Structure 1
Amino acid sequence: DLTQNDIRKTIIEDLQRNTAKFTGEHRQDVIKWLKTIEIKFDTAEIPTAKKFYLIPQLLDKEALD
């Protein structure tokens, strides 16, 4: 349905723009970061396969190695 697709698109754009990227730095809490991302994914009803596509876009620095 068009409305759900619009909501999903908006949440994905928000994730990419406003979510702190996970860098893998010492003080960054990976569990807290993943829980935050999962809540946003669930709200947007993003399928698991799509999550695997989106997560790398939210990584930076050592987390990409």
Structure 2
Amino acid sequence: MAKGKEARVMIILECTTCIRKSENQKSPGISRYISQKNRHNTPSRLELKKFCPYCYKHTIHVEIKK
């Protein structure tokens, strides 16, 4: 049986503190992670606490649009 849409989709997670830093001053980069989520179980934007190599600490990473 064929399904209409795939449940699992690829998402990009981006550091929230690096975004704020880059607006005010020059930052070395923005931390991004690639992950998957189930569209049916989690329809809203995903927020995870991940390590940011530019901030040197664990920060909240939010899902961005591709």
Structure-1-length-normalised TM-score: 0.29
TM-score by length of 2: 0.29
Max Rg structure: 2
Higher relative contact order (CA 8 A, sep 6+): 1
Q: Give the strand-richer structure, 1 or 2.
A: 2
